[in-house]
Amino acid sequence: MSRTVIAGLDGSAESLAAAEWAAREARLRGLPLKLLHALEDWAPDYGSAPLIGTIAAPVAYTPKYWAERIPREMSERMRERHPGLEISTEQAAGRPVEVLQAAAKEAEVLVLGSRGLSTLTGFLIGSVSMSVLAHAERPVVLVRAGERAEDEHLPTPGGSGQQRHAYRDVVLGLDIARPCDEVIEYAFDAAAARGADLRIVHGWSLPPVFGYDPAAIDPVHNSELATRESAALTDVLLPWRSKFPGVRVEEQCVVGRAADHLADASTDASLVVIGRRRRRAAAGAHLGPVAHAVLHHAIAPVAVVSHQ
């Protein structure tokens, strides 16, 4: 049975951006789209004042009203914008974190919105999104508020904007010391679905001796280390190049923190793909430092793929 692309809805601008991205992803992958809204039993009623110039009494809108209206209006919008796409809606009772974590188990990908602060500061991640990201075993994509379809594409020649051009690169952050098949395959799949290039960023650090021995800072030694890292990256990717011969791959071995390079790469990417190792700490599941930094500073949508 094929999985479904699921978008979490709460009526906010960021969840609208998530639904739009999820609809485009569902079309790319030939999968159905589900719009999911969680309703907490304790949620209060909301009052709505009459429009200016009217004498109508205020109307009390119950949580059930919004639980029905939000998915219905979003599905109508998605059907209008994406004719032919199979779309379903679901209202689920329970805490949003628990509802979304349960949905993620059955999703091809779960798409969540996040409030973007600016083009310089990336995502503002809420507690719900952070908890879902830290626990989900299926890929989760975080989409900034205001993200548009045209942001994922290269500018059209002449800047006319009338015809959508090729997709920007898909960017994969890869640690060759612990390469993970699930993360690599997701990135190759995403690039193949878009007909995009795949840019693979591997950040590595110089040995500690480079920090305190001036004699060790030798261009020849530095070049040898860089060549060795580059060759190791090429070896890791060799079977994936064979599996996805239609995907053009650009390998980037860069010195420094991987998160910084991935944030920079996100400025002209259609999607950034990173991995999250499933692990338990004393305080429970959590995101690693690289994933945390990328999510807070990336400009493009970010796919977090969990792995062992």
**Cα(37)–Cα(58) distance, rounded to whole angstroms?**
25
**Cα(166)–Cα(155) distance, rounded to whole angstroms?**
8
Q: Is 212 helix (H, G, I), strand (E, B) or coil?
A: helix
Per-residue burial over 86-110, b = 16 or more CB atoms within 10 Å of its CB, e = otherwise: ebebebeeeebbebbbebbeebbbb
User: What pLDDT was estimated at residue 66?
Assistant: 66
Cβ neighbour number for residue 115 with a 10 Å cutoff: 16
- 95's CB contacts (< 8 A; 6+ apart) are 38, 40
With pLDDT > 70 as the criterion, what percentage of the chain qualifies? Answer: 76
**Cα(55)–Cα(49) distance, rounded to whole angstroms?**
10
One-letter amino acid at 124 equals L
111: burial class by Cβ within 10 Å (0-12, 13-18, 19+)? Answer: buried
User: What pLDDT was estimated at residue 49?
Assistant: 46
Contact (CB, 8 A) for 269 and 301: no
User: What pLDDT was estimated at residue 307?
Assistant: 84
**Cα(144)–Cα(32) distance, rounded to whole angstroms?**
22
User: What pLDDT was estimated at residue 10?
Assistant: 85
User: What pLDDT was estimated at residue 305?
Assistant: 95
Please, what is the Cα angle at 255 between 253 and 259, to 5 degrees? Answer: 90
User: What pLDDT was estimated at residue 51?
Assistant: 42
For 201-237, the pLDDT digits (tens) are 998 876 655 554 544 545 545 678 888 899 999 999 9
- 84's CB contacts (< 8 A; 6+ apart) are none
Q: Is 59 helix (H, G, I), strand (E, B) or coil?
A: strand
Contact (CB, 8 A) for 67 and 91: yes
User: What pLDDT was estimated at residue 61?
Assistant: 53
User: What pLDDT was estimated at residue 110?
Assistant: 96
User: What pLDDT was estimated at residue 31?
Assistant: 96
Q: Which helix (H) or strand (E) holds 180?
A: none
Ranges in the chain, pLDDT < 70: 1-2, 41-67, 115-126, 157-164, 206-222, 279-286
User: What pLDDT was estimated at residue 69?
Assistant: 80
**Cα(292)–Cα(285) distance, rounded to whole angstroms?**
13
